[in-house]
Amino acid sequence: MPLTHQSAVRRRQYIIKADNSLRLINPEFGDAGTYTCVATNIHGNDSRSTTLSIAQKPHILSTTEAYEDFSADLVEVTVGSSIRCRLGSTVKISCPTEGEGSFRTQF
């Protein structure tokens, strides 16, 4: 069963086991795609495909900036900041994220 998906072949990060299973080791985004198993004998052949998608956990885009504002009614910062503001002001802490797929954030 020759493997034709070029990313895995190039990185040599796959094993075809004696039970005809394919194991991708530490798959990367480039390994995403369609993998097809083909069985052949003297009577013909059959094939089935599966699609592999690679996902990653979300990443929070934080900062370590110190922020100080004693005059604004609304103080807006990014999570990770240290904040000093006046009593009675409103503080908005944003939590920007990046990553594949959908996810939710919460405080």
Provide CB contacts within 8 A for 28, sequence distance 6+: 7, 11, 54
pLDDT of 30? 86
The per-residue pLDDT of the chain, averaged, comes to 87
Q: Confidence band (pLDDT; 50, 70, 90) for 18?
A: confident
pLDDT tops 70 at residue 1:
no
Tell me the domain boundaries of the chain: 6-52, 59-98
- SS3 category, 61: coil
Q: What is the pLDDT of residues 34-48, one digit of tens each?
A: 999 999 999 999 999
> What is the Cα 14 distance to its own chain's centre?
20
More confident residue, 18 or 42: 42
Q: What percent of the chain has pLDDT over 90?
A: 52
